């Protein structure tokens, strides 16, 4: 490795066609997309990225806020891409659309919100003390904290146990996340607030929400879609935080219909 150069992210590319970049959520890795890669790879070049310190990606490259996370990911947008982002990955997708608009063709945002935490003017998120509790527990018991976080993601889903088993298996597929990356991800979720910037994002966007999501409530996803210039909101009934696993066919139908309506990428 060249002196002074940070290690590269772990990236898997499959398929042929326009680029579709997949960004996973906190504490997970790109294996969460395993169930939907093959159908989408029939029409797209799928680029699955492990966020820094997650899955097979090293730490560094590091990030400490949403802006620095976007800077790390931006080189993978070369030539223009549709971004499919889930949870923390959806925040990264929104930030990339703001800072690299020429490189982002469209957004598919899953379990997405412009602000993860509640405040006096936003009641569609998680109470701050819940995130503080996760951060405190993370320092003492990383494995147990991640396990509880996964359980929270499926609460309310009609296929909760099946989805939880899949999420746990996907975590094990690539090993534990680097502790510093987990702490940095929580800091992003704590501080990120894109509510005032949504009007500057003009790319076509699909916002997908699980009906019973406890982490990013449906109302927050609806507000996100309403704040974007060219967004469509779609509800996945009886799903929670991971509809691409629990309700794969419904999810794929919504995504494929949205992608089919996009203009062809510029040569």
User: Which amino acids are annotated catalytic?
Assistant: 87, 213, 241
User: Mind giving me the DSSP string for 181-221?
Assistant: HHHHHHHHHHH-B-GGGGGG--S-EEEEEETT-SSS-HHHH
CA–CA distance, 155 with 151 (Å, rounded to integer):
7
Measuring CA to CA, which residue among 194, 227, 22 is closest to residue 99?
A: 194
Calculate Rg over the CA atoms of the chain: 17
Contacts of 200 (CB under 8 A, 6+ apart): 98
Residue 81 CB burial class (10 angstroms; 0-12, 13-18, ≥19): buried
């Amino acid at each position: 490795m060249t002196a002074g150069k940070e290690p590269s992210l772990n990236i898997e590319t499959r398929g042929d066609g326009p680029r579709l970049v997949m960004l996973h959520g906190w504490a997970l890795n790109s294996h969460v997309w395993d169930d939907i890669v093959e159908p989408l790879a029939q029409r797209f070049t799928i680029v699955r990225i492990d966020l820094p310190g997650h899955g097979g990606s090293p730490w560094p490259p590091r990030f400490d806020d949403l802006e620095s996370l976007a800077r790390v990911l931006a080189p993978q947008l070369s030539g223009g891409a549709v971004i499919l982002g889930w949870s923390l990955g959806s925040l990264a997708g929104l930030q990339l659309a703001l800072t690299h608009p020429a490189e982002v063709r469209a957004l598919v945002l899953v379990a997405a919100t412009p602000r993860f935490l509640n405040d006096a003017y936003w009641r569609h998120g998680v109470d701050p003390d819940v995130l503080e509790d996760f951060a405190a527990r993370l320092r003492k018991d990383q494995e147990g904290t991640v396990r509880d976080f996964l359980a929270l993601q499926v609460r309310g889903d009609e296929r909760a146990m099946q989805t939880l088993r899949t999420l746990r298996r996907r975590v094990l597929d690539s090993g534990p996340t680097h502790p510093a990356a987990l702490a940095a991800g929580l800091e992003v979720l704590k501080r990120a607030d894109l509510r005032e910037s949504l009007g500057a994002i003009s790319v076509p966007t699909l916002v997908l929400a699980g009906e019973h999501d406890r982490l990013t409530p449906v109302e927050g996803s609806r507000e996100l879609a309403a704040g974007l210039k060219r967004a469509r909101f779609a509800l996945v009934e009886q799903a929670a935080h991971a509809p691409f696993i629990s309700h794969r066919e419904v999810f794929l139908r919504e995504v494929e219909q949205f992608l089919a309506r996009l203009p062809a990428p510029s040569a």
